[in-house]
Amino acid sequence: MIDLTQPEVKLALQVVQQGADVAQQVRTAMADRNLTKDDLSPVTVADFASQALAARAMQQATPGVALVGEESADELRTDEGAEVRKLVAEFVAKFDADATESSVCDWIDYGTAEPNDCFWTLDPIDGTKGYLRGGQYAVAFALIKNGQVELGALGCPNLGEGCAPDMGKGVTLIAQRGHGSWLSVAGGEFKAIHVSERSNIADARVMRSVEDSHTNASQIDALNAALGVTADPVRMDSQAKYSVLAVGGGDLLFRLLNPGREDYKECIWDQAAGAIILEEAGGRITDLRGKDLDFSQGRKLLKNTGVLASNGVFHDAALAAIADVCTLP
């Protein structure tokens, strides 16, 4: 059983629940307003507000511990960012009366720390396209000590009972190494969860993104054919996929390399929380060569190539199929 009164556990739950709450409030109030990063991926006011609240909670609960986040306040501090800066401060102030435009920027930048021996990592809104379309997304928060994920939480505001991909009342998941994975639906009691025990590969449900452009769709089709998978895929965005895997609603997840991006390395905040939640639920996660994910290399998984996640039963077969179908750098 996980101890929900433990300070680190309480902090993790506060961060993902507040992040989910502010994200939902932002989307309701201004669903069609967003910024654009240099790489043209959408960034919403919710990203900044979620990270600001996480940093504020950390400063109060674990002062001095580093936060490695996805966002910085550089854009918000400019004249061009004034309108968004004002909006972010307004939404954060609904949760913390001390929030000002200046303090919120400072809180966001608290998340620009570099990894060390003990730090938290945050993806304030994982699955921004899912968020903007009103689909699935997640707030992901994890504690990494000496290069290993020790604690992780996911807030998935649009998932429902059983973590089905259809719209629900929201779930929160938390896992601590050695203490299992736990799920709360709509703020209810936390219950232990476990991956599927499905053993017929034809029935394996492969987790896929809503948009095929997010991965190498043709190689996933080839892998399915090589494995003999005939079941329909489960399509959704973000680390919410790990939630579905952890409760047995899916069986395989491939994070392949897109053509022309063979040197791509995963960011730690995109994998840390989901990884420990899946592992503690009895699943398995490695890179595409079968190597454990190495979180000791900074902000990216520099020693890993892609990701394979599974219920454990299908993992070796999937690795063999990857070796046959995919050309890895």
Q: What is the per-residue pLDDT across 295-316, written as a single tens digit (0 to 9) for each? A: 999 999 999 999 999 999 999 9
Nearest to 126 by CA among 236, 278, 4, 32: 236
Catalytic-residue membership of 123:
no
Whether 219 is covered by a domain: the verdict is yes
pLDDT at 41: 37
Tell the residue number behind the tokens 């179908």, with chain if given. Answer: 325
**Domain co-membership, 95 together with 166:** yes
Residue 9 in this model has a pLDDT that exceeds 80: yes
Position 1 in a domain: no
Query: Do residues 174 and 64 both lie within one domain?
Result: yes
pLDDT exceeds cutoff 50 at 136: yes
Binned at pLDDT 50, 70 and 90, residue 34 comes out as low
Alpha helices in the chain (DSSP H): 7-29, 45-61, 82-93, 101-109, 128-133, 217-227, 240-246, 272-280, 315-325
Q: Which residue is catalytic, options 47, 123, 251, 287?
A: 47
DSSP letters, 240-270, are: HHHHHHHTTS--EEEE-PPTT-TT---BGGG
What is the tally of structural domains in the chain?
2
Q: Of 21, 44, 126, 128, which residue is the catalytic one?
A: 128
DSSP state of 282: T
Domain that holds residue 18: 7-192
Q: How confident is the model at residue 262 (pLDDT cuts 50, 70, 90)?
A: confident
- Residue 214: its pLDDT value, please? 61
The mean-pLDDT minimum among 92-106, 124-138, 211-225 falls in 211-225
- The answer to whether residues 240 and 294 touch, using CB atoms and an 8 Å cutoff, is no
pLDDT for 212: 65
Q: pLDDT averaged over the chain? A: 93
User: Quick one: what percent of the chain has pLDDT higher than 90?
Assistant: 82
What does the pLDDT read at residue 39?
38
Active site residue 109: no
What pLDDT score does 42 carry? 40
Q: Which of 132, 161, 192 is the last residue of a domain?
A: 192
Do residues 24 and 123 both lie within one domain? yes
What gap in Å lies between CA 167 and CA 186, rounded to an integer? 12
Per-residue confidence (pLDDT) for residue 324, from 0 to 100: 97
Q: Are residues 51 and 140 in the same domain?
A: yes
**Stretch among 67-76, 212-221, 229-238 having the lowest mean pLDDT:** 212-221
Q: Are residues 139 and 260 in the same domain?
A: no
